[in-house]
Amino acid sequence: MASLVGGASVITFPVLLAVGLPPVTANVSNTIGLVPGGVSGTLGYRRELVGQRARLVSLGVAGLLGVWARRREVGSGLVLLWYDVTTR
Instruction: Write the CB contacts of 37 (distance below 8 Å, at least 6 apart in sequence).
Output: 2, 3, 7
Say whether both 31 and 57 belong to one domain.
no
Q: Please give the tally of structural domains in the chain.
A: 2
Query: Which residue range(s) make up the domain with 34?
Result: 2-44
DSSP assignment of 20-60 equals T--HHHHHHHHHHHHHHHHHHHHHHTTTTTTT-HHHHHHHH
Average pLDDT of the chain, as a whole number: 77
Residues 40 and 8 in one domain: yes
Q: What is the mean pLDDT of residues 27-35?
A: 83
Per-residue confidence at 19, pLDDT binned at 50, 70, 90? very high
State whether 58 and 76 are in the same domain: yes
pLDDT (tens digit per residue) in 44-75: 888 888 888 888 888 888 877 777 775 566 66
Q: Is the domain of 39 the same as that of 60?
A: no
Same domain assignment for residues 69 and 38: no
pTM, to two decimals: 0.47
